[in-house]
Amino acid sequence: MNITSYFAKDLFQGKTVFITGGSSGINLGIARNFAAVGANLGIVGRAQAKLDVAAAELRELGAQVSTHSADVRDYPALEQAMRQCREELGPMHTLICGAAGNFPLAAEQISPNGFKSVLDIDLLGSFHACRAGFEQLKETQGNIIFISAGQAFMPYAFQAHVGAAKAGIDQMMRNLALEWGRFGIRCNSIAPGPIEGTEGVRRLVPEGSADKLKKMIPLGRFGTPDDIGQLSVFLASPLAGYITGTRVVADGGQNLPGSGAWTQLIMAEMAKAQKPQ
């Protein structure tokens, strides 16, 4: 796989980037773009087999890769993964809090445990990563990028749990930017729109609706993992050295008209899917 990177090839030479949920989707796209500018990568995921496939691809791009099978909800496991990654690749310069869970469901049908699972993976898992990575980031005067979503600031039907989690992430990002600026640590988040080929799109876009949904996006297309990968490299680099506490929305303009049309389409499609035959 070739990456067209607009940055200097050695921008992250010898630096370590640690990515939770890094074995697939947007997060793997981010990993690829860091590999293209010389970074070494620590990736965490729940399934070792998926991590192995991702690592092979990243090594082909020239990166050293350290894989860690761990659940971000398990703090000691994440701490251990970060310790081991440091031993293999050196202290992390950039932390990407990308691990996330989602399933679309009407609020009155979400079980308390389903709601909690999403909060635990997205919000608590992001805190775990920041808390466990703090000492390394302090040492490198590094930075954190959280993967947020439009649901953080726009209500979407069937996304009550995700909206709560992502809004929490963005507010935590601002808190950490405020507190950790004194250590030279920058914190920002990215709110991607729908990204082509990801589990998120598979779960959230009803079959046959992609073209209709694309027409509702001002730029007329879904994003690509590279759209988010390039933005992540920019935010983590000295090019963004004075940017902290900011959410960057990279959604092709999806959220500008609000979520009404999207919500109506999704609700209609979901209702059709749930109709007894």
Catalytic positions:
148, 166
> Does 101 sit near ligand COA (CB under 6 A)?
yes
Distances in Å between the Cα of 205 and the Cα atoms of 62, 104, 153, 263 are 34, 9, 20, 11
Q: Which of 105, 119, 167, 250 binds ligand COA (CB under 6 A)?
A: 105
Q: Minimal distance in Å, beta carbon 149 to ligand COA?
A: 8
> Does 111 sit near ligand COA (CB under 6 A)?
yes
Which CB atom, from 118 or from 185, has the smaller least distance to ligand COA? 118
* DSSP string covering 32-57: HHHHTTT-EEEEEES-HHHHHHHHHH
Which CB atom, from 84 or from 117, has the smaller least distance to ligand COA? 117
Q: Minimal distance in Å, beta carbon 111 to ligand COA?
A: 3
Nearest partner of 218 among 185, 262, 275, judged by Cα = 262
> Does 184 sit near ligand COA (CB under 6 A)?
no
**Strand 186-192's sheet: what is its strand order?**
65-69, 40-45, 16-20, 92-97, 143-147, 186-192, 246-250
The residues in 193-232 that bind ligand COA, with binding defined as CB under 6 A, are 199-200, 203
In the three-class reduction of DSSP (H, G, I as helix; E, B as strand; rest coil), residue 153 is classed as coil
State the DSSP code for 95: E
Q: Which of 113, 182, 207, 242 binds ligand COA (CB under 6 A)?
A: 113
Rounded Cα–Cα distance for residues 7 and 238 (Å): 12
> Does 274 sit near ligand COA (CB under 6 A)?
no
Stretch that binds ligand COA, among 94-102, 130-138, 175-183, 246-254 (CB under 6 A): 94-102
Rounded Cα–Cα distance for residues 159 and 43 (Å): 27
By the criterion CB under 6 A, which residues form the site for ligand COA?
A: 100-103, 105, 111, 113-114, 117-118, 121, 199-200, 203
